[in-house]
Structure 1
Amino acid sequence: MKKQDSFDQHGGAQPPAAGAVPVQVTAEGRTRSEVARLLLEQGPMSAVAVAEQLGISPTAVRRHLDVLLADNEAETREAPRRGPRGRGRPAKLFLLTEQGRARFGHAYDDLAVAAVRFLAEHAGEDAVRAFAERRVAALVEPYQEAVTREGEPASRAGALAAALTREGYAASTRQVGAGEQLCQHHCPVAHVAAVFPQLCEAETEAFARLLGTHVQRLATIARGDAACTTHVPIDQMGIEARTPDGGTTA
């Protein structure tokens, strides 16, 4: 069954993204939000306990719980037995999974910005730069061999896009004029990069080393663009070949 709505950190339905077609929040969706919030605040709980708290039938509650289970937003565990073991299956308790809790929002982005800001204030901009370089190195190094064994920058861009997609960046490539464009349609650190562009700069430099050519960052999600777009030239005339360690070859 398709999800009816999503929740913000206060439990309400999130507004649609800019340009998106508004989705009407149904009574079913609102009730499911209430079920999920109750599990967040008081779980693990039985279906009967949820029904009593919300004033609706256990049958209706179980229907919503089944959807949350199917969407991997809730899980079950057996209720602890009290007294002698009786007949029948033990009662089932419901609680939210990490995915279900994420629907209500996290403060991870704010925490990350605060941490990097603290680093900048107490260790200086060079420390922020070093942090950005280490982070992107940890991201791309596992895929260095798979990318650099490709001969041409365009082929390397495709291999890099596949690697970034495995890391959650939803990346793709497309040929545009005399070049290839590497597009990242998602950026897990966009909120932090909007404050500290060193993250984007270090990423661009790492891409250049991997692809063996100069690249140009055309757009970033951190600046409000729809995707992070990097131009990769495929005309090699006059372009100095780079080695993966950042050096150059004649």
Structure 2
Amino acid sequence: MNETGSTRKQIMLMLKTGGPLTVSDMAEQLGVTEMAVRRHLNTLERDGLIGSKLLRQSMGRPTHQYYLTDKSEEHFPKSYHTFTLDLLNDLEQNYGPAIIDQLFKNREKRLTDLYQSEFTSQCLRDRVRALAELQDSKGYMVEWEELEDGSYKLTEFNCPIAQVANKYNQACACEINWFQNLLDAEVERSECKAKGGQNCIYYIRKRKTG
């Protein structure tokens, strides 16, 4: 990591643990000049990671205090998957495995209903592109291609729900089902991260008629 990036991370950590802070507070803790701190703050503010508010003092001129914005939260470690797994495990222990099946069926329907309006194109190619863009925006790191036989290959290089899917395979079945619903096509998964694969790979074909 370069020194500039490291200093910005230190500033964000200071604001996370001790903020809001003034420029002089941060300069003193970091052992750098106030001008150096302001340069980093300008970048963080431009990126929407911090905000400032005017602090009126009993003596002297008002000064600004800096604080982290909601957007900054994505730069700090999270353990949502642990929380989710704990909840699913408690539900399974208390109500049996059928409740887990029902939860993922509910998720499948919710996702289908939520995005159905974005998949109205009569062209399967356009629907596959829309799905790839949707999944990519959710952090799945997606690539797709049209194959010589007119089918499509969609590859997800990342799985944000991998820890959940590793224990609850219903999550994987849920993904295929709502893909099929939105694409109105046949979807087959040839490789799955939750089952030891390097990526999640889907093959998409037009539904057979007749």
TM-score over 0.5 for the pair = yes
The whole-number CA distance in structure 2 between the counterparts of 1:61 and 1:224 is 46
The whole-number CA distance in structure 2 between the counterparts of 1:93 and 1:112 is 36
* Residue of structure 1 equivalent to 2:132: 161
Q: Is the 8 A contact 1:162 1:172 kept in 2?
A: no
Q: Does 1:182 align with 2:154?
A: yes
Which ranges in structure 2 are unaligned for 5 or more consecutive residues?
none
Q: Deviations over 1:183-240 (max 9, x none)?
A: 3444432232222221111110222233333311123344465543211124x5xx25
Q: 1:225 to 1:51 in 2, by over 3 A?
A: farther
Q: Does 1:209 align with 2:185?
A: no
* Residue of structure 2 equivalent to 1:53: 29
* Residue of structure 1 equivalent to 2:69: 97
Q: 1:55 to 1:156 in 2, by over 3 A?
A: closer
Q: Is the 8 A contact 1:143 1:163 kept in 2?
A: no
The whole-number CA distance in structure 2 between the counterparts of 1:28 and 1:146 is 42
Q: 1:206 to 1:166 in 2, by over 3 A?
A: same
* Residue of structure 2 equivalent to 1:138: 110
Q: Is the 8 A contact 2:192 2:199 kept in 1?
A: yes
* Residue of structure 1 equivalent to 2:85: 113
Q: Does 1:41 align with 2:17?
A: yes
**TM-score of the aligned structures, taking structure 2 as reference length:** 0.83
**DSSP-derived class of the 1:188 partner:** coil
Q: Deviations over 1:135-193 (max 9, x none)?
A: 2322231322442x333544432333344445554545311243212334444322322
**TM-score of the aligned structures, taking structure 1 as reference length:** 0.71
* Residue of structure 1 equivalent to 2:50: 74
Judge which range, 105-114 or 173-182, deviates more.
173-182
More strand, by proportion: 2
More helix, by proportion: 2
**DSSP-derived class of the 1:194 partner:** helix
The whole-number CA distance in structure 1 between the counterparts of 2:109 and 2:2 is 46
RMSD: 2.6
The whole-number CA distance in structure 1 between the counterparts of 2:203 and 2:158 is 17
Q: 1:195 to 1:135 in 2, by over 3 A?
A: same
The whole-number CA distance in structure 2 between the counterparts of 1:31 and 1:152 is 50
* Residue of structure 1 equivalent to 2:6: 30
The whole-number CA distance in structure 2 between the counterparts of 1:136 and 1:66 is 43
Deviation at 1:42, TM superposition (A): 0.4
Q: 1:177 to 1:128 in 2, by over 3 A?
A: farther
Q: 1:33 to 1:209 in 2, by over 3 A?
A: closer
Q: Is the 8 A contact 1:185 1:227 kept in 2?
A: yes
Q: Is the 8 A contact 2:108 2:177 kept in 1?
A: no
**Corresponding letter in the other structure for 2:4:** E
| Aligned-pair identity (%) | 26
Deviation at 1:38, TM superposition (A): 0.9
**DSSP-derived class of the 2:21 partner:** coil
Match of 1:151 among 122, 141, 147: 122
Q: 1:222 to 1:144 in 2, by over 3 A?
A: same
Q: 1:49 to 1:206 in 2, by over 3 A?
A: same
Q: 1:152 to 1:34 in 2, by over 3 A?
A: closer
